[in-house]
Structure 1
């Protein structure tokens, strides 16, 4: 192949014009260069339809319809799909999984150019000459990208290497204009990490209470262009993403259950978010996973030799990780049991599928022609920088979850939800609300909790419940709470704290508190004016007296002899369980019979239970 003239390269990189001469002649790829596409700042790639393929104008089937059709076909076949929790092992076989996780670093600049990292700006508006491999351009390592990378490696308990180097990984694809990707294959910046997974992280029951997964290495590398498929076999290319800094986290092949693999990816995302190393999570495309899967017979474990592995590329959800591993494991076992041979290949997975699909043969080290990058020197990381970053990591998720459970009395599920929601911003919002609430309680001289709750937990549980569940209900009408990394949203933390302060002191009812929350969310109450709004509309809780509750209780139990008989049977030992349902039935009658806005269910229940034990039952026994 002769030299390609610079003018030809320029036409390809800037305008999408690709020569049909030489080794590219007869290829299947052609670049659309209409002025309309150029004006939109997108590069467009159009793929010729292979012979025998469906025509381009065939209407696409909606995903929801496809899933329904697949469910019908599965039902018609008489096969039952196992629940994942019951499908972690196959008798006689061992599954082995290794994972490669790609995460986008939280930086302002790209890895080898000063262009800004942008995800929502005009396509192709942040592209430096080196990003599109303009002849004569050189990579310039942006030192600031190293900070979040090292923080991520420390959170994953890795050893930071004092010297690391960059390599070129060669392959040709339209999303990689240089024809190679710069990565750290031979000399990564971090090695020998580990991640502890616990039962609360969602690991398979077969792994017990905890399991440690080793990390072989973490390497820095550049991202490719963003490809967007549109009708008509056209693919749009946005080079804003070219050169965006990534880290690739490579685990050891120590995972043997699909649920544990999904739990590991979820845990890694949580750790990266906790140290502010990455821009977003799996649900928004900031983290992607490639899964390596192999199986072997149990009797072959002693040999130490693993089965032939296949790679499943670009899984973009935790459920996809687990489902794809199960499907590929079952496929490989079926091949081996039939006497076949598992081929080393790269496979794909789509939402709703029951099988993986072949993409291409598996590339190896020779195929990529790894070589040291001659344009980049070694990266030297000083021990002083490592120690400084280690000292500023803060509290990592496992320690924080333990604190939420032990100090504040949260359930494990609620503690983990607070940590994971909004990329870690929800837990910061909780702390902001709690701090403001406790400040109000101290000022009012009522910071002590109820005597029937552990010290310091009642108001914290109240804040956690509202930050999770009541705030979550707002998302039913608005997909975005406007949550910021510093823990603020469309409901200012000081306003939610004001609502909870009055609710905690029983100055307003739960119903009024929820109405105030919605009013704040809709902007109907100015910031910091919650108390004034309660005062203006006279929403204060003027609760009934003990005598009023007792009179209502006497009224509603009239004619409920059968219900009261259940309490008598419990007292006499004829039934073991206290008739809680009957009690709540009577409480409901009291709440409906009393004046709206002046009653508290807990007070009604307490008075009713007292009268059942000391008035109604003694009366029934005396008859």
Structure 2
């Protein structure tokens, strides 16, 4: 959508569900997909007389995200009770952080200029400010049955640990919102704090959006969009709502501040309620939880323990490993894939003991981006579930680099390696007669026999019918006992046919 007269102003509120072995204030399990109401206890259900105890892992994860997003870290932060009534909130309040979040004033960098869907004028990078990151517990889930007029409640999610990230109103298009969520998902997965799966609710986004005439400083009336379970839905919902608000501005109609639900099937929004302000929740300090104190030493320990983050790793793959920009971008999208690549390359270096390291890195990259990722997508696997581990992949790439197997042969070996995880690439290639013969002295006699046995076709070829060259190649490959190097076969055939243009040069 082109916004010629109006500028969208977008801010996001993103909930990141943390991957921990317990809830934020109780020892309940947090596995996705468990039967309803099987992961609950008196604390998460809000029974009288129970006391919450903060899960220290949640604090560590909050610090990881805060440090990785350049936030300031609060020396002391407190929990509050956010009061509102809803059936899936058994206590009648949610434990969250209000005026003292654990992390604040950070930013996430996005790269519109690298996005295929961005217009050519998009900047290479933009910093999206973060107002705050705070810890809180999740509520339960209401399951409505319109046909029966009933609502069922699943409290498994009560108390599941969340980090809420609130951005500044710095985003200026639905595409930028998409790119922000894409970057955030990549980041939390690299940090190992969340799987970032929006379809399963591990990453949930609400968007506040308004429009204003270009050049005006004051913000317009905003609406909040909810019920978006994919990055694409966020982009689509914002596109729709911005168009709706611009149309209202053009008509001179007022825009009501309200919360809207996104109906992905209909491609429209619908009102949910008038927009609530923070004071409507009646925040009060939680008397059962002490303040969280964070010492400088703890922050430094977290900082030193951070993994190499995606952009830095991508840059290193280009500058030090020798990969093209595109390859580096693909391989660093997921931390596990980047780890797999580096481990395979390390094993390959051990085998080659020198040589053209850029070519070796590119060979590993090519195989991962084609064969490995194809299998991961077709079988819905994570890379660490693949039967061909990094060391075995390095065996196969080494065979290909040494011209021990052809390109087609390497693909056949890879498929066999998936089915036979106890066998090396070399053993499979040998058992299937895929090891290429690269000895000119072994291939040349077969080439001569093929040409001698087909004199009429040789004459026709020499008269200009170049298409017969493929016939000669096929005959050599069929007659050879083993798997000759196709390029060497091609070269020897060309030499022999060129020589027969002058009969004096033909070997007797």
1:107 aligns with 2:20: yes
2:8–2:211: 8 Å Cα contact kept in structure 1?
A: yes
Q: CA deviation at 1:117?
A: 2.2
- Determine the structure 2 residue equivalent to 1:531: 426
1:595 aligns with 2:477: yes
2:186–2:333: 8 Å Cα contact kept in structure 1?
A: yes
- Determine the structure 1 residue equivalent to 2:461: 558
1:549–1:604: 8 Å Cα contact kept in structure 2?
A: no
Q: CA deviation at 1:529?
A: 3.2
TM-superposition CA deviations, 1:198-254 (whole Å, max 9, x none): 223568334311111111110111112244556745554332221111111111111
Q: Secondary structure at the match of 1:188?
A: coil
Q: CA deviation at 1:372?
A: 1.8
Q: CA deviation at 1:124?
A: 2.4
1:418 aligns with 2:325: no
TM-superposition CA deviations, 1:112-164 (whole Å, max 9, x none): 11222222444323212110111221221122211111101111111111111
Distance in 1 (alpha carbons) for counterparts of 2:477 and 2:170: 63
- State which of 438, 452, 460 in structure 1 corresponds to 2:361: 460
- Determine the structure 1 residue equivalent to 2:92: 179
- Determine the structure 1 residue equivalent to 2:454: none
- Determine the structure 2 residue equivalent to 1:407: 320
CA RMSD of aligned residues (A): 3.2
Distance in 2 (alpha carbons) for counterparts of 1:92 and 1:265: 27
Q: CA deviation at 1:465?
A: 1.8
- State which of 383, 390, 396 in structure 2 corresponds to 1:483: 383
1:155–1:272: 8 Å Cα contact kept in structure 2?
A: no
Q: Secondary structure at the match of 1:145?
A: helix
Written as runs of structure 1 = structure 2, the 5 A alignment for 1:129-208 is 129-198=42-111, 199-200=113-114, 204-205=118-119, 206-208=121-123
Name stretches of at least 5 consecutive residues in structure 2 with no aligned partner.
452-456, 502-508
240-249 or 533-542: bigger deviation: 533-542
> How does the TM-score come out when normalised to structure 2?
0.86
- Determine the structure 1 residue equivalent to 2:402: 505
1:220 aligns with 2:141: no
1:170–1:179: 8 Å Cα contact kept in structure 2?
A: yes
Q: Relative contact order (C-alpha < 8 Å, sep 6+): which is higher?
A: 2
Written as runs of structure 1 = structure 2, the 5 A alignment for 1:78-477 is 87=1, 89-198=2-111, 199-200=113-114, 204-205=118-119, 206-228=121-143, 232=148, 234-299=150-215, 301=216, 304-421=217-334, 424-442=335-353, 447-449=354-356, 456-475=357-376, 477=378
Q: CA deviation at 1:510?
A: 1.9
Alpha carbons of structure 1 residues 234 and 614: separation in structure 2 relative to 1, 3 Å? farther
Distance in 1 (alpha carbons) for counterparts of 2:404 and 2:62: 49
Distance in 1 (alpha carbons) for counterparts of 2:135 and 2:250: 40
- Determine the structure 2 residue equivalent to 1:21: none
2:444–2:492: 8 Å Cα contact kept in structure 1?
A: no
TM-superposition CA deviations, 1:399-441 (whole Å, max 9, x none): 11112223334343432332234xx322222222222222222
Alpha carbons of structure 1 residues 124 and 311: separation in structure 2 relative to 1, 3 Å? same
Alpha carbons of structure 1 residues 592 and 539: separation in structure 2 relative to 1, 3 Å? closer
1:313–1:348: 8 Å Cα contact kept in structure 2?
A: yes
Q: CA deviation at 1:605?
A: 7.7
2:376–2:382: 8 Å Cα contact kept in structure 1?
A: no
- Determine the structure 2 residue equivalent to 1:566: none
Distance in 1 (alpha carbons) for counterparts of 2:125 and 2:472: 49
Q: CA deviation at 1:282?
A: 2.6
Written as runs of structure 1 = structure 2, the 5 A alignment for 1:562-573 is none
2:433–2:483: 8 Å Cα contact kept in structure 1?
A: no
Alpha carbons of structure 1 residues 493 and 109: separation in structure 2 relative to 1, 3 Å? same
1:172–1:179: 8 Å Cα contact kept in structure 2?
A: yes
Distance in 2 (alpha carbons) for counterparts of 1:610 and 1:407: 41
2:438–2:488: 8 Å Cα contact kept in structure 1?
A: no
Alpha carbons of structure 1 residues 111 and 508: separation in structure 2 relative to 1, 3 Å? same
Name stretches of at least 5 consecutive residues in structure 1 with no aligned partner.
1-86, 450-455, 564-584, 617-623
1:543–1:598: 8 Å Cα contact kept in structure 2?
A: no
Distance in 2 (alpha carbons) for counterparts of 1:216 and 1:278: 21
Alpha carbons of structure 1 residues 203 and 482: separation in structure 2 relative to 1, 3 Å? closer
1:220–1:247: 8 Å Cα contact kept in structure 2?
A: yes
- State which of 358, 375, 392 in structure 2 corresponds to 1:495: 392
Q: Secondary structure at the match of 2:273?
A: strand
Q: How many residues align?
A: 487
TM-superposition CA deviations, 1:527-558 (whole Å, max 9, x none): 25332233333321124749689989996993
Alpha carbons of structure 1 residues 606 and 194: separation in structure 2 relative to 1, 3 Å? farther
Distance in 2 (alpha carbons) for counterparts of 1:491 and 1:341: 60
Q: CA deviation at 1:381?
A: 0.7
TM-superposition CA deviations, 1:494-547 (whole Å, max 9, x none): 22222222112111122222122222222xx24253322333333211247496
Alpha carbons of structure 1 residues 476 and 279: separation in structure 2 relative to 1, 3 Å? closer
Alpha carbons of structure 1 residues 542 and 180: separation in structure 2 relative to 1, 3 Å? same
Q: CA deviation at 1:274?
A: 1.2
